[in-house]
Structure 1
Amino acid sequence: MSSFAQRCGIHDAAREQAVQRLGRLISGQGLELVRFAWCDQHGVLRGKTLVAAAAERALREGVGLVSTLLLKDTSDRTAFKVFEPGGTASLPGFGFANNLLLLADPDSFRQLPWTPATGWLRAQPWFEDGTPVELDTRRVLQRALARLAEAGFTLKCGLEVEFHIYKLQDTQPALDPMQSAWPPPAPAVSLVHPGYNLLAEGWYDQAEEPMRIVQHTAQALGLPLLSLEIELGPSQVEAVFEATDALAAADNMVLFRNAVKMALRRAGYHASFMCRPPFPNIMSSGWHLHQSLCDAGTGRNAFQRDVPKAGTDSSDAAHTLSDLGEHYLAGLLAHARGTTVFCTPTANGFGRFRPNALAPQSVLWGRDNRGALLRVIGGCGDAATRIENRIGEPAANPYLYFASQVHAGLDGIARALRAPRATDAPYAGQGESLPTSLGDALSALEQDTVLCDAFGRGFVDYYTRIKRSEQQRFAAAEDPDEFQRREYFARL
């Protein structure tokens, strides 16, 4: 009798050998538990922990998962009425909190460095009839990258991730049942460095203990960490990663974000990837995405130009980027408003778009300009020529963030769009304004027919419904700051 993985069409002789090798590794390492983890629509890992003896069978037969996990907003409230007739009519395969099955990739195995005798696997959901769950955000990116491959390209991404690390005031805070709420209260914290001294070595030394935990955790998991830095804001830091292919970069971001939160908490710290933590004096955190296309056959950077295009100067995109690179850049600009909700998906993140804050306000690009939405980096003959998108917040789901870039860039290439001249005044009110709230960003997506068609109308309707649940609760909150403390600071 065939296994569930075989019925899904993913289990061949090579995967069977990988499963058997992993079974021997789990036994040989003396592991006791294996976590089967799945990235939800908000970029947060969920899943189940199996005893080690059950892991090998689960790789073939799957792990049960309630389908409502795909239907929840950031508070964990289900945004669809799953027990009412027609409540999930727009979601084929969903209904009545039915079961899905997680199938893990045996090659994704890691041994977790912060907890004893525990392994970890990345998994994706399938329906019980063996068909893929197309709403799974990793699958959304896989579809986008398949479109890119059909055009003859791969996407390379480098990550610069700002976030905050705080010291927990009580390393084992009492979870008072009388104070329990949905979502729960945020933890009480103190700073690990006082801020307002960018890249200060003394501040790094002061924060070295938690930074070492971040370093050791990332490296033990095999993540391509390049540097750890002190950012401008109090308790704000940054991690920079080597560029990799897009799917690996997205997987790395999910694993890094969730792993460092767990490792730091065990040591008495709280890591927050919330854009603007709920304190009077903070600096917003961004997630700057460096991206370039590579020729699928040769691996050459398709954005690289050998010599400036005749008749151009440094304010022209074609002075630095290849023609294809300019078209991709112009596509990102054309769909910047529509992609915003995938890059900045929380109600909190829009407070970052302020003048002179090293964050964008308008749909503009600049030559090595950190105030512009898109920053073109490199020059003729430079194999590292790339476009940096500065709109993202660190809480974004990386699969959706990257997919939005692919779809926007491909439209620019397909229509051979030309980019306007570079800005030298990104905060002077030039260019179309970016959305200023989560609600505005959702509307901008719904009005972008190219993106709706690329993602699929069904996915856009599903995603916007979940995010509107969050936006409506935020708008109705009696205390917006307390809403953000519980919704984002305690959980993201």
Structure 2
Amino acid sequence: MNYKKPRDQKDVMQLVKEHDIKFIRLWFTDILGQLKSFAITVEELEVAFTEGMGFDGSSIKGFARIDESDMIARPDPTTFAILSWRPTDKAVARMFCDIYEPDGTPYKGDPRYILKLNLEKAAKKGYTFYLGPELEYFYFRSDRNTEILDEGGYFDYPMDAAEDLRRDTILSLEQLGIKVEYSHHEVAPSQHEIDLRYADALTMADIVMTYRVIVKEVAKQHGVYATFMPKPLFGENGSGMHTHQSLFKGDKNAFFDPKDPYYLSELAKSYIAGLLTHIKEITLVLNQWVNSYKRLVPGYEAPVYICWARKNRSALIRVPLYKPGKEKATRIELRSPDPACNPYLAFASMLKAGLTGVEKKYKLPEPIEKDVYHLSHDERNDLGIDSLPGSLIEAIEYAEKSSILKEAFGEHIFTNLIESKKKEWDDYRIRVFPYEIDRYLPIL
């Protein structure tokens, strides 16, 4: 379904008439990046634009207390899209919303607003933040077990049981105006990846949320289940969200320097140094679940060690090799995030860490082109290579002391995020798992 991307309320009202839209789904996220949605009829659309739609925020994770629960959702007309998996007769569209207090002030617990604030700060310095994430995921027979669809591996074709699922997913993404670079089977059995063409950070955060919905909806149509759980299979690679990123000034890539041996500007080097310096503090945001740390272990292609490189994929940050004439493609790739994060907060924290390095002129250490996984502990120490947090509670402890995270998110989201993650850790650590019964019951 082809239609021009709307610019304002007037464009949306015209598209609604042209395409016989009956329902509009209003989307936003809680602080953990879980999509929230409610539907209005087209007759309420003008009210939604002018006044916003009220809802109870006390039931949304990390939103208002029960004594200050009234919230207003106001749709962003530029995010209007007709949902490709819904019936075309009396069709359904969606728009992302910005959340407001009843007095009209932006709600400080809205992750989309937090990303906007950080992007505005970057814009005042002349920067536009671009990202291109690679989201990996698994297909299983159902959401109750991890029965795989195939035994395929990286780029496998004959053993790829989900070629049609990926094709239909890409078609659905493109119908919503989301550009895809390529797709393929990933390393683990039944694991897949669809790579998105780069966009500005706010657009990309909205795209990531939409991507996750479409992957799941198309899977449901095919009678299977798609999951972005970071590590669903023991002994296999987990799912990451390698995030390519760059800063532009106008139409020029601020990361590119033709005279540098690595083709990296001093700004790019300080940005990388900022990420390396503050990565432990922001890991809670990039890898926010207990299960995330089952992925971040040596030996399964997930980055664990804090260093950068050009060719070495065991490094936390990789700088893809420069191709002559492709200055705009100069970028860095942060390899630690997983696809179950909140993209609004994840992108905001990456930008904050990187720009802190730029503002304070951090010096970038030399790249590590050795396979870090095969270095001994002493060899890594000699090279000054540190490690990411090894568990959720360790990540919480680093985040809790982080001034840059608190500054990026504000008091409300910072406090609620820490509190929520502590509750998750407490819930996890008091449970008894089958491993413990199998291992200890016969001997203790």
Q: Residue 136 of structure 1 aligns with which residue?
A: 110
**Is the Cα contact below 8 Å between 1:47 and 1:65 reproduced in 2?**
no
Q: Residue 334 of structure 1 aligns with which residue?
A: 277
* Helix, strand or coil at the partner of 1:268: coil
Match of 2:399 among 445, 467, 475: 445
Closer, same or farther: CA 55–237 of 1 in aligned 2, 3 Å: same
Q: Distance in 1 between matches of 2:407 and 2:81?
A: 37
Closer, same or farther: CA 119–302 of 1 in aligned 2, 3 Å: same
**Is the Cα contact below 8 Å between 2:236 and 2:300 reproduced in 1?**
no
Q: Distance in 2 between matches of 1:414 and 1:109?
A: 36
Q: Distance in 1 between matches of 2:124 and 2:44?
A: 39
Letter aligned with residue 108 of structure 1:
T
Question: Is 1:264 matched up with 2:219?
Answer: yes
Match of 2:419 among 444, 452, 465: 465
Q: Distance in 1 between matches of 2:171 and 2:322?
A: 35
Match of 1:456 among 407, 410, 429: 410
Closer, same or farther: CA 19–229 of 1 in aligned 2, 3 Å: same
Closer, same or farther: CA 39–225 of 1 in aligned 2, 3 Å: same
Q: Residue 88 of structure 1 aligns with which residue?
A: none
Letter aligned with residue 392 of structure 1:
P
Q: Deviations over 1:252-293 (max 9, x none)?
A: 11111122212321331211000011x445320100000111
Q: Residue 100 of structure 1 aligns with which residue?
A: 71
Q: Distance in 2 between matches of 1:166 and 1:212?
A: 17
Q: Distance in 1 between matches of 2:416 and 2:221?
A: 36
Q: CA deviation at 1:50?
A: 1.4
Q: Distance in 1 between matches of 2:298 and 2:272?
A: 23
Question: Is 1:303 matched up with 2:255?
Answer: yes
**Is the Cα contact below 8 Å between 1:45 and 1:254 reproduced in 2?**
yes
Question: Is 1:150 matched up with 2:96?
Answer: no
Q: Deviations over 1:279-323 (max 9, x none)?
A: 44532010000011111x3x21111111236xxxxxxxxx43111
Q: Residue 46 of structure 1 aligns with which residue?
A: 36
* Helix, strand or coil at the partner of 1:439: helix
Q: CA deviation at 1:131?
A: 0.9
Q: Deviations over 1:57-99 (max 9, x none)?
A: 2222212222124435xxxxxxxxxxxxxxxxxx8x6433622
**Is the Cα contact below 8 Å between 2:26 and 2:38 reproduced in 1?**
yes
**Is the Cα contact below 8 Å between 2:35 and 2:209 reproduced in 1?**
yes
Q: Residue 194 of structure 1 aligns with which residue?
A: 151
**Is the Cα contact below 8 Å between 2:108 and 2:410 reproduced in 1?**
no
* Helix, strand or coil at the partner of 1:34: strand
Q: Residue 413 of structure 1 aligns with which residue?
A: 358
Q: Distance in 1 between matches of 2:93 and 2:312?
A: 43
Match of 1:474 among 416, 428, 433: 428
Q: Deviations over 1:200-233 (max 9, x none)?
A: 12133x3222122211221111111111110011
Map residues 187-336 of structure 1 onto 2, 5 A cutoff: 187-188=144-145, 190-195=147-152, 197-204=153-160, 206-277=161-232, 279-295=233-249, 297=250, 299-308=251-260, 319-336=262-279
**Is the Cα contact below 8 Å between 2:7 and 2:77 reproduced in 1?**
no
Q: Distance in 2 between matches of 1:41 and 1:159?
A: 20
Closer, same or farther: CA 19–67 of 1 in aligned 2, 3 Å: same
Closer, same or farther: CA 224–380 of 1 in aligned 2, 3 Å: closer
Map residues 69-80 of structure 1 onto 2, 5 A cutoff: 69-71=59-61
Q: TM-score, normalised by structure 2?
A: 0.88
Closer, same or farther: CA 320–56 of 1 in aligned 2, 3 Å: same
Q: Residue 397 of structure 1 aligns with which residue?
A: 342
* Helix, strand or coil at the partner of 1:222: coil
* Helix, strand or coil at the partner of 1:191: coil
Q: Residue 426 of structure 1 aligns with which residue?
A: 372
Closer, same or farther: CA 418–338 of 1 in aligned 2, 3 Å: same
Q: CA deviation at 1:480?
A: 7.8
Q: Deviations over 1:175-201 (max 9, x none)?
A: xxxxxxxxxxx4346322213x31012
Q: RMSD over aligned Cα, in angstroms?
A: 2.2
* Helix, strand or coil at the partner of 1:32: strand
Q: Residue 316 of structure 2 aligns with which residue?
A: 373
**Is the Cα contact below 8 Å between 1:40 and 1:70 reproduced in 2?**
yes
Q: Distance in 2 between matches of 1:444 and 1:420?
A: 22
Q: CA deviation at 1:147?
A: 1.4
* Helix, strand or coil at the partner of 1:459: helix
Letter aligned with residue 371 of structure 2:
A
Q: Which sections of structure 2, spanning at least 5 residues, go unmatched?
A: 1-5, 436-444
Q: Distance in 2 between matches of 1:395 and 1:17?
A: 30
Q: CA deviation at 1:422?
A: 1.1
Q: CA deviation at 1:42?
A: 1.9
Q: CA deviation at 1:373?
A: 0.6
Worse-matched range after superposition: 107-116 or 22-31: 22-31
Q: Deviations over 1:225-258 (max 9, x none)?
A: 1111100111100011111111111111111112
Letter aligned with residue 41 of structure 2:
V
Q: Distance in 1 between matches of 2:218 and 2:40?
A: 20
* Helix, strand or coil at the partner of 1:229: strand
Q: Distance in 2 between matches of 1:121 and 1:223?
A: 14
The alignment-based identity, stated in percent, is: 30
Letter aligned with residue 256 of structure 2:
Q
Closer, same or farther: CA 359–302 of 1 in aligned 2, 3 Å: same
Q: Residue 139 of structure 2 aligns with which residue?
A: 165
Q: Residue 8 of structure 1 aligns with which residue?
A: none
**Is the Cα contact below 8 Å between 1:320 and 1:380 reproduced in 2?**
no
**Is the Cα contact below 8 Å between 2:302 and 2:314 reproduced in 1?**
yes
Worse-matched range after superposition: 471-480 or 442-451: 471-480
Q: Which sections of structure 1, spanning at least 5 residues, go unmatched?
A: 1-15, 73-90, 169-185, 310-318, 482-492
Q: Distance in 2 between matches of 1:200 and 1:350?
A: 27
* Helix, strand or coil at the partner of 2:335: strand
Worse-matched range after superposition: 52-61 or 367-376: 52-61
**Is the Cα contact below 8 Å between 1:378 and 1:386 reproduced in 2?**
no
**Is the Cα contact below 8 Å between 1:326 and 1:419 reproduced in 2?**
yes
**Is the Cα contact below 8 Å between 1:329 and 1:419 reproduced in 2?**
yes
Closer, same or farther: CA 108–472 of 1 in aligned 2, 3 Å: same
Q: Distance in 1 between matches of 2:266 and 2:7?
A: 45
Q: TM-score, normalised by structure 1?
A: 0.80
Q: Residue 388 of structure 1 aligns with which residue?
A: 333
